[in-house]
Copies of this chain bind each other. A is one copy, B any other.
Amino acid sequence: MRVAVIGLGTMGMGAAQNLAKTEGLEVTGVDPRAEARTAFGAAVANGAALPDGQDAALVFVVNAAQARDALFGPNGAAPHLAPGAVCIVSSTMSPADARALAASAEALGLLYLDAPVSGGAVGAASGQMTVMASGSDDAFAKSAPVLAAISKRVFDMGRAPGLGTTMKVVHQLLAGVHIAAAAEAMALGLKAGIDGQTLYDVVTTAAGNSWMFQDRMAHVLAGDDTPKSAVDIFVKDLTLVTDMARAENLPVPLAAQAMQLFVAARGMGQGGRDDAFVIRVWEAMAGVTLPKP
């Protein structure tokens, strides 16, 4: 089975490496950045350079516009996909964009799996991502060997493209609010004279814990703002949340408020830094002293 992995960023690279280790799969990476191609090995600069007869294209680019371009643009992968091949799209986007991409794939006789993931860099590297997917039975069947190599669990969200993405948007509501809440709580504790490490130890053994608190506040305690996931990503993803919620006529006051905090962090020049450093908004507003400035 020939598999193209399009977008060799943190997530795509982890997926590509796990696929390359899997017997029976012949993997080609696609990335415009020479350093990413060198790091992976068997890779080309764009979809037009792919060998013919690919059976699956796994897409890990950053948004819907890039996914459309990577598959159906002038240098897209579509002409090199075999008849009945599957497009497995893991980029986070709106449900409407996922449905539109699925329609484009179907018009070309291709299968489409709407397949966002959770698990971050660690999950991608270890082949232990969580996949929340929707699509036809054929799309699931064709994708199975690929998903097995990159994930610990595949949730079947239904037959209609868009449901996987809907689930991912709901997930990102929680992820974004939890990161901002973790920063808000850490900032309040530090300002009120609680030691940061002690606060971390209490919360992570108590009912106030979240996956994001445990993961991201460790970055703050270490003073490490190297972006595992950047502030800009949550400006984008919380925009997807508020857009989808408005379309559903459902208010999301916490997600809307969390977005303002990530926007503030971006306004402070922190857009490219690790998302945990949204805490610098409170540092700026209230004079909080961070553990390692």
List A residues at the B interface (Cβ < 8 Å).
95, 118-120, 130, 132, 152-153, 155, 157, 163, 166-167, 169-175, 177-178, 180-182, 184-185, 187-189, 191-194, 198-199, 201-203, 205-213, 215, 241, 244-245, 248-255, 257-258, 260-261, 282, 285-286, 288
Given the known interface contacts A191-B248, A288-B250, the answer about A208 and B167 at a Cβ–Cβ threshold of 8 Å is: no
Given A119-B206, A172-B208, A191-B250, 5 extra CB contacts under 8 A: A118-B207, A119-B207, A174-B210, A178-B208, A251-B282
Partner of A167, one of B130, B199, B241: B199
Q: Assess whether B181 is in contact with A282, with CB atoms less than 8 Å apart.
A: no
Q: Assess whether B250 is in contact with A207, with CB atoms less than 8 Å apart.
A: no
Given the known interface contacts A130-B202, A286-B248, the answer about A210 and B253 at a Cβ–Cβ threshold of 8 Å is: no
Partner of A207, one of B211, B245, B249, B282: B211
Complex Cα spacing A207 to B234, Å: 14
Complex Cα spacing A185 to B241, Å: 10
Q: Assess whether A189 is in contact with B167, with CB atoms less than 8 Å apart.
A: yes
Chain B contacts of A192 at CB under 8 A? 95, 166, 170, 244, 248
Complex Cα spacing A132 to B260, Å: 32
Find the residue from A163, A167, A174, A211 having the highest chain B CB count within 10 A: A174
Q: Assess whether A210 is in contact with B178, with CB atoms less than 8 Å apart.
A: yes
The 23 listed contacts between A and B (C-beta, < 8 Å) are A118-B202, A118-B207, A130-B206, A132-B202, A155-B201, A166-B194, A167-B189, A170-B185, A171-B185, A174-B181, A174-B182, A174-B208, A178-B178, A178-B181, A178-B208, A178-B210, A181-B254, A191-B249, A209-B210, A210-B211, A210-B213, A248-B286, A253-B257
Can you tell how many copies of this chain the complex includes?
Answer: 2
Given the known interface contacts A194-B167, A206-B118, A285-B251, the answer about A188 and B201 at a Cβ–Cβ threshold of 8 Å is: no
Complex Cα spacing A211 to B36, Å: 37
Complex Cα spacing A212 to B89, Å: 31
Q: Assess whether B171 is in contact with A177, with CB atoms less than 8 Å apart.
A: no
> Which residue from chain B places its CB closest to the CB of A209 in the assembled complex?
B211
Chain B contacts of A208 at CB under 8 A? 118, 171-175, 178, 211-212
Q: Assess whether A254 is in contact with B171, with CB atoms less than 8 Å apart.
A: no
Q: Assess whether A184 is in contact with B120, with CB atoms less than 8 Å apart.
A: no
Complex Cα spacing A261 to B257, Å: 13
Complex Cα spacing A20 to B282, Å: 46
Complex Cα spacing A29 to B31, Å: 69
Complex Cα spacing A205 to B180, Å: 21
Would you give the shortest CB distance from A186 to chain B, in whole angstroms? 8
Given the known interface contacts A170-B185, A192-B166, A194-B166, the answer about A215 and B207 at a Cβ–Cβ threshold of 8 Å is: yes
